[in-house]
Amino acid sequence: MTIGTVYLIGAGPGDPGLITVRGMECLRKADVVVYDYLSNPALLREAPEAEHIYVGKRGSTHVLEQPDINDLLVAKAKEGKAIARLKGGDPFVFGRGGEEALHLKEHGIPFEVVPGVTAGVAAAAYAGIPVTHRGCTSSLGMLTGHEDPTKPESALDWARIAGSMGTLVFYMGVKNLPKVVDKLIEHGRPKDTPVALIQWGTMARQRTVVGTLGDIVEKTKGIEPPAITIVGEVVALREHLNWFETRPLFGKRVVVTRSREQASDLSAMLQGLGAEVMELPTIKLVPPDDFAPMDKAIEDIASFDWIIFASVNGVKSFFDRAMEIGKDIRDLAGPRICAIGPGTRAAAEAYHVRVDCQPPKYVAESVVDEFRKMEDMAGKSILIPRTDVGRRLLMEELEKMGAAITEVTAYRTLPETISPEALQDLLDNPPDFVTFTSSSTVRNFVECVGKKSLSQIAAGTRFISIGPITSKTAQELGICITAEAEESTIPALVAAVVRDASGKKP
């Protein structure tokens, strides 16, 4: 019988971008993902077909006790499966990875340890605190603030710790912070020694409280785990090096309603500005029910004078289908290309197609104006690969100008469902912003959420639209748009969120 391999992967401290390349490789090939409370659930998207098993521990609440987790790994490996064991931070730094590895060894299960970025270093860095710094400290101690409660006495040599180490990093020490502080002061650390407590380090919800050994306990009342405590003179450097928490969207929760396939670019831009992104797709893109009309248009491509692409999705769907039926760019020698918007133009050019016309505004009205100025459209044959929903103004106006329009469905836009858990999360933690990238995202958001829940969410949420058509749809459905992108592009939508967050006017 084939035995599977267990990969003990350090998932990093929270920011999913901090997982290592090797960790991502192992995750993507896993049949089973066993993950902790502190491993970011966003990483599960990298193994969508795998079985996902949550074994998180939070305080005294354990989904599975450690011996049961050990046995689970063995059982899944004996089924011949590749197992990604995602552990917050590094598996061998206060992560009990050693216990799991020993259990696997005892049962003859092959395993690999994939080191991760440990929270004690990463959380400090995201708070603007280098754990070592020339002229400040040349020693670093990583310690648990929560020792095994079954031990009769502390295994920590407090006199040595307090007197000989420069920077001290305490893991899992929120509850025992008063004891840690008392021990350090008792063994010689001055009360004015700088201290920082960092909650949810590297995440958009990160919170950093700075004080001294003399007042940090009082200052951090009410803060709950997970948190890291940094003790030492390096904490003072935060005043100059605080880069993460000064980002324009830091601490803001932003909902992205785009389809799952399209969400990544928008999410990445928002996250790069410090936002906590909640991807809540309200639409999904699927192939047309019948490819025959598009296939015929592709076969007859030489008969068209123009092809008008209104979206990136239209471009991708059209060219992917063309290649599936044996065509390529050599067959596009006849028609000229019009692309609505820079994103659509870039998508077409990625297929090595030259774009002959890009209207200055990214709406149908602007396309019509351009064609009116350009040439007599009477008798011209125009192909428009598009979604199955949307305005018909472009086709109607071009037909009025005498053009012969062939409209084919390149893809369909269908409603996506929101899970009860996601909806409850939305209600329990109302976002600061909800972004809409099309009229479809607005309509389906309202339908998925429901009017009652929508009014509850809207009380403290600002709604940002990609353009006037989307804004009009939102207003018709009772949503007050608080900001609109200056042009209908994703970068402009992000800029509108930033502008609104800062209180600036367009």
| CATH number of the CATH domain containing 496 | 3.40.50.10090
Q: In whole angstroms, what separates CA 442 from the centre of its chain?
A: 21
228 lies in the same domain as 127: yes
The answer to whether 485 and 467 have CB atoms below 8 angstroms apart is: yes
> Among 386, 413, 440, which residue terminates a domain?
413
Residue type, 181: V
Res 343: pLDDT: 87
Q: Is 361 in the same domain as 408?
A: yes
- The helix or strand, by DSSP H or E, that contains position 428, with its residue range, turns out to be helix 420-428
Residue 98 lies in a domain: yes
Give the model's pLDDT for residue 506: 63
Active-site pick, 29, 57, 327, 472? 57
Judge if 111 and 12 occupy the same domain: yes
| 202 and 187 within one domain | yes
Judge contact between 293 and 408, C-beta under 8 A. yes
- Show the domain range for 37: 6-117
36 and 106 co-located in one domain: yes
Q: What is the CATH number of the domain that holds 204?
A: 3.30.950.10
Q: Helices 292-299 and 312-324 sit at what angle, rounded to 10 degrees?
A: 80
CATH number at residue 53: 3.40.1010.10
CB under 8 Å to 35, separation ≥6 — which residues? 11, 41, 43, 44, 52, 53, 54, 55, 56, 85, 86
Residue 146, Cβ density class (10 Å: 0-12 exposed, 13-18 middle, ≥19 buried): middle
- The answer to whether residue 248 sits within a structural domain is no
Q: Which of 172, 203, 377, 395 is catalytic?
A: 172
Q: Is 337 helix (H, G, I), strand (E, B) or coil?
A: strand
Q: Does one domain contain both 389 and 293?
A: yes
375, 397, 413 - which closes a domain: 413
Same domain, 219 and 305: no
Assess whether 473 and 435 both reside in one domain. Answer: yes
- Establish whether 36 is a catalytic residue: yes
Same domain membership, residue 293 and residue 349: yes
Give me the catalytic one of 15, 36, 90, 432.
36
- Report the length, in residues, of the chain: 506
User: Is position 57 annotated as part of the catalytic site?
Assistant: yes
Does 363 fall in a domain? yes
What pLDDT is recorded for position 488?
86
Q: Point out the domain boundary residue: 81, 96, 117.
A: 117
Count CB atoms within 10 A of the CB of residue 70: 20
Is there a single domain that holds both residue 174 and residue 319? no
* Count of structural domains within the chain: 4
- What string of pLDDT tens digits covers the 506 residues of the chain? 689 999 999 999 999 999 999 999 999 999 999 999 989 988 998 999 999 999 987 766 778 999 999 999 999 999 999 999 999 999 999 989 999 999 999 999 999 999 999 999 999 999 999 999 988 888 999 998 876 555 656 678 899 999 877 999 999 889 899 999 999 999 999 999 999 999 999 998 999 999 999 999 999 998 999 999 999 999 999 999 999 999 999 999 999 998 887 788 899 999 999 999 998 898 888 999 999 999 999 999 999 999 999 888 999 999 999 999 998 778 887 899 999 988 899 999 999 889 999 988 877 788 888 888 877 888 899 999 988 877 778 888 888 989 999 999 999 988 888 888 888 888 888 899 999 999 999 999 999 888 888 888 888 899 999 999 899 999 999 999 999 999 888 999 999 999 999 987 66
Token pair 């401290």 in the structure block, residue: 13
Say whether both 407 and 304 belong to one domain: yes
Asked whether residue 1 is assigned to any structural domain, the reply reads no
| Torsional class of 478: left (φ above 0), alpha (ψ -120 to 50), beta (otherwise) | left
Q: Say if residue 350 is in the same domain as residue 407.
A: yes
Cβ pair 408, 383 in contact under 8 A: yes
For residue 331, the model assigns a pLDDT of: 80
Q: Determine, yes or no, domain membership for 262.
A: yes
Asked if residue 246 is part of any domain, the answer here is: no
DSSP, collapsed to helix, strand or coil, labels residue 328 as coil
How many distinct helices (H) and strands (E) make up the chain? 19, 22
